Amino acid sequence: MYFPSWLSQLYRGLSRPIRRTTQPIWGSLSRSLVLSSQRRNPEFSSFVVRTNTCGELRSSHLGQEVTLCGWIQYRRQNTFLVLRDFHGLVQVIIPQDESAASVRKILCEAPMESVVQVSGTVISRPAGQENPKMPTGEIEIKVKTAELLNACKKLPFEIKDFMKKTEALRLQYRYLDLRSFQMQYNLRLRSQMVMKMREYLCNLHGFVDIETPTLFKRTPGGAKEFLVPSREPGKFYSLPQSPQQFKQLLMVGGLDRYFQVARCYRDEGSRPDRQPEFTQIDIEMSFVDQTGIQSLIEGLLQYSWPNDKNPVVVPFPSMTFAEALATYGTDKPDTRFGMKIIDISDVFRNTEIGFLQDALSKPHGTVKAICIPEGAKYFKRKDIESIRKFSADHFDQCSLLGKLRLECADLLETRGVVLRDPTLFSFLWVVDFPLFLPKEENPRELESAHHPFTAPHPSDIHLLYTEPKKVRSQHYDLVLNGNEIGGGSIRIHNAELQQYILATLLKEDVKLLSHMLQALDYGAPPHGGIALGLDRLICVVTGSPSIRDVIAFPKSFRGHDLMSNTPDSIPPEELKPYHIQVSWPTDSKAAKAH
Amino acid sequence: MYFPSWLSQLYRGLSRPIRRTTQPIWGSLSRSLVLSSQRRNPEFSSFVVRTNTCGELRSSHLGQEVTLCGWIQYRRQNTFLVLRDFHGLVQVIIPQDESAASVRKILCEAPMESVVQVSGTVISRPAGQENPKMPTGEIEIKVKTAELLNACKKLPFEIKDFMKKTEALRLQYRYLDLRSFQMQYNLRLRSQMVMKMREYLCNLHGFVDIETPTLFKRTPGGAKEFLVPSREPGKFYSLPQSPQQFKQLLMVGGLDRYFQVARCYRDEGSRPDRQPEFTQIDIEMSFVDQTGIQSLIEGLLQYSWPNDKNPVVVPFPSMTFAEALATYGTDKPDTRFGMKIIDISDVFRNTEIGFLQDALSKPHGTVKAICIPEGAKYFKRKDIESIRKFSADHFDQCSLLGKLRLECADLLETRGVVLRDPTLFSFLWVVDFPLFLPKEENPRELESAHHPFTAPHPSDIHLLYTEPKKVRSQHYDLVLNGNEIGGGSIRIHNAELQQYILATLLKEDVKLLSHMLQALDYGAPPHGGIALGLDRLICVVTGSPSIRDVIAFPKSFRGHDLMSNTPDSIPPEELKPYHIQVSWPTDSKAAKAH
């Protein structure tokens, strides 16, 4: 039932550490949540009927007449109850004298999680009954009046067991899950961090917050775009995956510095830990190079970073794509720990071990190793066996070594070695990506490694016309603890080059992008930008297991809203204005019947 | 070519008035754009290759070496050119000496609206050649190096004539239109005003900025909702008209104070000055009454209001719906001027004029008048005639008198009377709306006047069970100069009452809202909120003729993006994953062929 005084610290910027408590919902985190030392405490009780929040009361309020509103968290022997709001918990004494019978009746009979309003006096707890673990533990409320604002029906489960329930149940009753300390913490931290980002971009660096449309045209190859039928037969809007085209057009329009906390859409069917709609901090600047964007982002994260976390150290280290692959076996290395991949081919140049000879005799054949510190000490026989099996299962994937490195790290940590400090935030720029990749369906054709507006690396432009596969790009990814949390590039601002890449190299339908090509011809400045994946970033900052824990109303991994049963059937007459009809699968009568 | 130094004032908060100039694009507004006196000037040249913006240079910069990037606005006799960026204009001297031939060539040959980068020294203009109308008019740039960053092709029209072109052309080349002073002003003012609103809500009053989904379930009677087909046959998402359900669920979830600058969607087909997607400042609070929400909004607007406008006076006056209809003939009266509607039935009680006798003999029959001050002096015979015709054309509408009042105001203003001061901002709360209206299709049935979650007026609750048509609601509208810029209500937080209104009175399909009804049963606090229409608000603040002028990439009134040709056809194979097909109209082969 104890509850840390995290909220006023989140806003006020005090950094007094808070001790770990045992309250299952409201005390499971013991951090001090401080986002900025400049922030003053907002007025949480302006414009409303309460005079104070439950969680803010201290000895300094002694003798004050207060009105509180909150949920009944706990009641004991009809003598006191604990009232909860978003700010915390406070103890309320149920009056025992006959004249207060109606107040007592309300407070004794209201079910748990009912909403009540009480007025009374802040008094000291009797000597010896203070609770030092509870921020309001020195005081209690002597109630004069009480009102039952809303009685709660019997809950489908005990609220304190909530986090133990299945995620499906938590999503179905999301409005109950939101009352948990963890969700309040995550959503409020997200709000505060975004606010600080806005202050940095808007107030300190002159960026303009501009909203761009989400009902737009399909992009070439945009197979993951949701469609929105219009009232014109056969004509559709698409929900774009990012404001990419618009932000570039804003630069052509002389807006110079744009940002948007942008809602984006991507239809990937069922993929774990992805959401059909997600949010990115979307940024674009004119007259900038790669270094400029990187410095901007380093400053942005430093400025908006919660004060109670380990600080962000700038500048972030940088690594080429090639080096990341060679050293970590992935383009998003977790650099909190070593265990790098080492080329030991030379050691085995004269080996007589058959399979190594075999490997080294192939073109580009290498032998690589990962040194696991004190592996012999920590790994048991069954660990070695599981690593061997993991390797066999993933042997055909060139990213095997990167995965093996993480697998070994997992194993080491189950043996008690702290390899990836959860309080450490290790940022990394990955740069010099290839501009093109061979198409999966047809490896003789090219597709953009990121998107077709990415500018080639200045040193490689000549290769565009001879060996396009070798061209590096001016794309950069931002990696945090092994998660890709952002990516961007310097863009092509020359219509001729853009046309050559789209039409000749990528063989795209240029008609779909004719407005972009035209815009580049009418005085487009050099420009570049980046987008940070906000959901993923907040997920890493809060240490949440899933991005669903940092989104108020997430969809399930199948794209369903389990609370409201979304998506849902639509009466045929509501499809008519959009000139569409459902193509029922012939093998699924059940679906139609439903 | 002269250009007011509006930008630094917008950010810095100086309120020095700026004189009217004659520059067609960049000087058409002469206001000082001050949003806050607390704001410090952002760094506009951090992270980029320029050292300064074109518009910021003054005598205080004399002797400094600067690098500028901008568009060529004007060139004269190959001796100087004027460079433009978002901040303003600056004069650049084209070097004439032989050693600078390459620089001269670049600056003399680049077409207008090309993008160039120049480096040089800030020097004084020769005595007598200063331009006091130009903020940078005391200095000019002696260029050392120049680089052509992007040559502009011949524009489809002269950029300085841009505003004279048709709106369709402006929308087709939106990225050129965005370079105009007016669009830069509108979008930057919008960004600044929203930022101030966020500071007020988030930093001063503890609101939490929470993003809610836009892929949601259809709402009962939500015929204006766009559909988004999912990958499950026959199952659709809907794009909601507002986050109404989510913000109420957040209150049930104990978030206490929510806001969001929310993207909303409404498919109204072709309606002038409406957009299929629009933005609202969406707010919800727990434990609040109507007065609380109104005070919050008055404070919000006062805090975020641009300093150079006439100040917002609070509290705003309030008027009942009934009084607004009786006095102004509309529920969104323009209270900047009088000319109220007066009941003069008593004067004519004993009249012998036939049509008046006739009117008064009917039940509720009245005779009403509008007194036009000095109408006899200003109105010509043809004005009277046009009023008579207007009245005849609209006679069957009960809102005739309200329209007539505005029509007469228009006429008076064409005769030179200043009736509606364009610098005046007249706010008004309209309250006590009816909770229900008779359904248009079937007047014996009821529909919600606003939405089914609106709470009834406490004094009228008993009428719900006897005369529901007479029940007033706790809905309130905010009106500014005759525009409805916001609306909200105290919500129903009692499941039983909500169920009765939905099922018994409105006869809605309760299944679609079962999650809402359930949530109200599990400890829903009393709550209420409001939404401000951001596009309309910024439109009125900036005095723009259309909301399209305050949106970066608006749709045409038919819902088209004229720049990119949106909505567009989709290849049939891209419809397959969504299990839909187009129902081509049988009488329109042309459509199919396209």
Partner B, chain A 191-250, Cβ-Cβ below 8 Å: 191-192, 194-195, 198, 202-206, 208-218, 223, 226-237, 239, 245-246, 249-250
3-class DSSP state of B242: coil
Residue B382 CB partners (closer than 8 Å, separation 6+) = none
Q: How far apart are CA A343 and CA A352, in angstroms?
A: 18
* Chain A residue with minimum CA distance to B517: A564
Residue at A66: amino acid letter: V
What radius of gyration do chain A's Cα atoms show?
29
How far, in Å, CA of B590 to CA of B588, rounded? 5
Expressed as residue numbers, the domain containing A329 is: 323-526
Q: Chain A 240-279, CB below 8 Å of chain B: which residues?
A: 245-246, 249-250, 252-257, 263, 265, 267, 269, 276-277, 279
| Domain presence at residue A398 | yes
CATH of the domain at B107: 2.40.50.140
Q: Which of B134, B150, B166 is the last residue of a domain?
A: B150
Q: What are the residues facing A532 on neighbouring strands?
A: A281, A486
- Residue A155 is classified by DSSP as P
b/e code A134-164 from CB counts within 10 Å (16+ = b):
bbbbbbbbebeebebbbbbeebeeebbebbe
Assigned token pair, B146: 């120049």
* Neighbouring residues of A461: CB distance < 8 A, sequence distance ≥ 6: A471
CA distance B527 to chain A (A): 10
Interface of A with B in 533-562 (CB under 8 A): 551-553, 555, 559, 561
Is residue A46 a contact partner of residue B205, using CB atoms and an 8 Å limit? yes
The 3-state DSSP class for residue A422 equals: coil
Cis ω before A567 (30° cut-off from 0): yes
B428 strand-pairing partners: B479
What is the pLDDT at residue A474?
98
Taking residue B178's Cβ as centre, other Cβ atoms within 10 Å add up to 24
Distance from CA of A44 to the nearest CA of B (A): 5
Q: How far apart are CA A502 and CA A454, in angstroms?
A: 11
**A398 Cβ neighbours under 8 A, 6+ residues apart:** none
pLDDT band at B31 (very low <50, low <70, confident <90, very high): very low
Q: Are strands A88-93 and B483-490 parallel, antiparallel or unpaired?
A: unpaired
Measured CA to CA, the distance from residue B239 to residue B214 in angstroms comes to 5
508-537 of B, contacting A, C-beta below 8 A: 515, 519-526
Number of Cβ within 10 Å of residue B392's Cβ equals: 10
A421 part of a folded domain? yes
Helices (H) and strands (E) in chain B, counts: 17, 21
CA B327 vs. chain centroid, Å, equals 27
Q: Quick one: average pLDDT of B144-171?
A: 85
Q: Could you count the other beta carbons within 10 Å of the beta carbon of residue A419?
A: 17
pLDDT per residue as tens digits for the range B390-436: 999 888 779 899 999 999 999 999 999 999 998 999 999 999 999 99
Give the other-Cβ count within 10 Å of B558's Cβ: 13
The length of chain B is 594
- What's the pLDDT tens digit per position in A55-112? 999 999 999 999 999 999 999 989 999 999 999 999 999 999 999 999 999 999 999 9
Cα separation, A20 vs A535, in Å, equals 27
Match 């709360």 to its residue by tokens: B429
Most B CBs within 10 Å, among A114, A182, A211, A582, to test the B interface: A211
Share of chain B above pLDDT 70, in %: 91
Q: Given pLDDT bands bounded at 50, 70 and 90, which one contains residue B18?
A: very low
A221 contact residues in B (CB cutoff 8 A): none
User: B177 near B162, Cβ under 8 Å?
Assistant: yes
Q: What is the pTM of this model?
A: 0.93
The string of pLDDT tens digits covering residues B203-251 is 999 999 999 999 999 988 767 999 999 999 999 999 999 999 999 999 9
Chain A contact set for B228 (CB, 8 A)? 226-228, 239, 567
- Flag whether A503 is in a domain: yes
* Domains: count for chain A: 2
In this prediction, residue B308 carries a pLDDT of 81
- Structural contact between residues A250 and B552, judged by C-beta atoms closer than 8 angstroms: yes
Round to whole Å and give the CA distance between A426 and A483. 10
Of residues A191, A230, A580, nearest to B559 (C-beta): A230
Helix, strand counts (H, E) of chain A: 17, 21
Contact between A481 and A336 under an 8 Å Cβ cutoff? The reply is yes
Strands B568-569, A235-239: parallel, antiparallel or unpaired by DSSP? antiparallel
CA distance B253 to chain A (A): 4
Separation CA A221–CA A234 (nearest Å): 19
The stretches in chain A having pLDDT less than 70 are 1-40, 159-163, 222, 587-594
* C-beta separation of B30 from B63 below 8 A: no
Q: Collect all residues of chain B within an 8 Å Cβ-Cβ radius of residue A574.
A: 218, 223, 227
Does B132 fall in a domain? yes
Give domain status of residue A41, yes or no: no
The phi, psi pair for A237, rounded to 5°, reads: -90, 160
Q: Grade residue B87 by pLDDT with cuts at 50, 70 and 90.
A: very high
Chains A & B: contacts with CB separation below 8 Å: 410
Q: Is A583's CB within 8 Å of B576's CB?
A: yes
Confidence of residue B10 (pLDDT cuts 50, 70, 90): low
Which of B149, B276, B578 is facing A526, going by the closest CB pair? B149
Q: How many residues are given for chain A?
A: 594
- Please report the pLDDT score of residue B39 as a whole number: 52
pLDDT of residue A39: 52
Can the peptide bond before residue A315 be classed as cis, meaning omega within 30 degrees of 0? yes
Report angle CA B230, B236, B237 to the nearest 5 degrees. Answer: 95
Three-class HEC string of B315-357: CCCEEEHHHHHHHHCCCCCCCCCCCCEEECCHHHCCCCCHHHH
Contact B224, B241 (CB under 8 A): yes
Question: Looking at the partner chain, which of A152, A559, A565 has a beta carbon nearest the beta carbon of B230?
Answer: A559
B473 secondary structure, DSSP code: B
**Contact state of B233 with A585 under an 8 Å Cβ cutoff:** yes
Identity of the residue numbered A582: V
Burial class (CB in 10 A: 0-12, 13-18, 19+), A532: buried
- Residues of B within 8 A of A521 (CB-CB) are 152-153
Tell which of B56, B89, B175 to mutate to test the A interface (max A CBs under 10 Å). B175
Residue B224 CA to residue A403 CA, distance in Å, equals 49
With respect to residue A584, please indicate whether it lies within any of the assigned structural domains: no
Give the β-pairing of B257-265 and B88-93. Answer: unpaired
**Chain A residues near residue B245 by CB distance under 8 angstroms:** 564
Chain A partners within 8 Å of B175 (Cβ): 249-250, 252-253, 519, 522
Asked if A293 and A322 touch (Cβ cutoff 8 Å), the reply is: no
Cβ separation B174–A551 shorter than 8 A: no
Q: Residue A416: inside a domain, yes or no?
A: yes
3-class secondary structure, A11: helix
Q: Is residue A294 part of a domain?
A: no
Of the residues B150, B177, B209, which one is the last residue of a structural domain? B150
Q: In chain A, whose CA is at the least distance from the CA of B52?
A: A287
- Written as six digits, the tokens of B550 are 């305050």
Q: What is the CATH number of the domain that holds A337?
A: 3.30.1360.30
Judged by a CB distance cut-off of 8 A, whether residue A361 touches chain B is no
How far apart, in whole angstroms, are the C-alpha atoms of residue A164 and residue A160?
Answer: 9
What's the CA gap between A446 and A458, in Å, rounded?
Answer: 20
Neighbours of B326 (CB within 10 A): 17
Element (H, E) at B102: helix B101-109
Question: Taking a contact as any Cβ pair under 8 Å apart, which residues of chain A between 32 and 51 contact chain B?
Answer: 39-40, 42-44, 46-50
Joined together, the tokens standing for residue A341 give 């991949």
Three-state secondary structure call for residue B368: strand
Share of chain B above pLDDT 90, in %: 79
E-strand ranges in A312-384 read: 318-320, 341-343, 368-370
Cβ count near A290 (within 10 Å): 21
Domain's final residue, options B464, B497, B526: B526
Among the listed residues A198, A195, A60, the one whose alpha carbon sits nearest the alpha carbon of residue A136? A60
Backbone angles phi, psi at A90, to 5 degrees: -145, 145
